[in-house]
Amino acid sequence: MTDRTSPFSAGVLRVAALQVAPVYLDAWATWDKIKSMGLEAVNDGAEVLTWGETLIPGYPEWVAVDTTEAQEPAYARYWDQAVTMDGALVADIKAFAKRHKVMIIGGVAERSGGSVYATIITIDAQGELIGRHRKLKPTWRERLVWADGDGLGLRTHDTKIGKIGSLNCWENWLPLARAALHQQDEFIHVGVWPGSITQVDDITRFIAIEGKTWSIAACGVLRAQDMEHLSEDIFPVREEMLTRKKVWQNGGSHIVAPDGSIVAGPLVGEEGIVAADIDTKSVVMARQLRDPSGHYSRPDVLNLTVQGANVIGAGKG
């Protein structure tokens, strides 16, 4: 029987970036906050939820201080609160996705072996962990905390309007990382960030224009007040983190159309939801001019090989 379904018949997909401040270094309490905001977004029709880089249990901003003796206990707490792919917290995220029939793309600190990774998990609307992307190269001081990632997670995943992919923070600036997703016909790009409007405003729009994709910046917020609950035994840098700055990360979540126009956000300086209805047709129309996922990229001449991309079992490791 001939399939007469139009690629445009799926209509629109509602996506929501959840801009949340963590309960710093408390993974479960942070997930509870995300879950509460996520339920609000789902009730507003969201079919994809995303949030910032390692929001669970928080971005390791304490590496900005300079004493090893103070950093080591903070890292120990961070390691303890990092999630495992087969652990109870990821299981609860999967259960939430299945219960509400929503895709989730979110940043977590992942513990595996003796290392911690900046990881994006992708869970489909059936509650299956279909993607696990570890940040390829931690940036600057992040190398004190996170190990290097791998090519396993450089994948796109199906949605009803096209394929979706994601990258962590400054790896969004890696040309070949973006190209790896272009090659897989990415229609929607999610960049997860700790949260700073000055870091995300140019690249989010650049990715939309370069890839002719929908581009989402999912950012966190981090303020001094979000660390007040920690004791100095657990977090010896507490006083310095409370007094050096009142705001460490100011958000900046927004959504950009394939023509480079901002359709939602940016949200700066507060927690909240940035949502938009996105479609396939906008991508296709933009790609008549230049299609980096199709013939304009000349795959017969230029082709990128990603080491580890053909490994089976994205949810393992």
Please indicate whether residue 50 or residue 299 has the higher confidence score (pLDDT).
50
Can you give the pLDDT at residue 7? 67
Is 30:55 a contact under the CB 8 Å cutoff?
yes
Mean local confidence (pLDDT), 115-127: 98
In a domain, 279, yes or no: yes
Structural domain contains residue 312: no
Residue 58: which domain range?
A: 13-297
pLDDT in tens, 237-252: 999 999 999 999 999 9
CA dihedral of residues 71, 73, 75, 78 (deg, nearest 10):
-140
Give the type of residue at 272: G
Residue 316 lies in a domain: no
Looking at every residue in the chain, the average pLDDT score rounds to 93
Strands 247-256 and 272-279: unpaired
| 74-113 per-position pLDDT tens digit | 999 999 999 999 999 999 999 999 999 999 999 999 999 9
CB 25 within 8 A of CB 57: yes
Could you give the percent of the chain with pLDDT greater than 90? 88
pLDDT > 70 in the chain, percent: 95
Whole-number pLDDT of residue 68: 72
In a domain, residue 304? The reply is no
Residue 22 in domain: yes
Tell whether 212 is covered by a domain.
yes
Residue 309 lies in a domain: no
Number of structural domains found in the chain:
1
Gyration radius (Cα) of the chain, Å:
19
In-domain check, residue 60: yes
User: What average pLDDT does this structure show over 232-237?
Assistant: 93
Taking residues 23-40, report their average pLDDT. 98
Average pLDDT over residues 126-131: 98
Q: Using the predicted structure, report yes or no on whether residue 285 has a pLDDT greater than 90.
A: yes
CA 98 to chain centre: 19
pLDDT bucket at 2, cuts 50 / 70 / 90: low
For residue 197, the domain's CATH number is 3.60.110.10
Residues marked as catalytic: 53, 135, 169
pTM of the model: 0.95
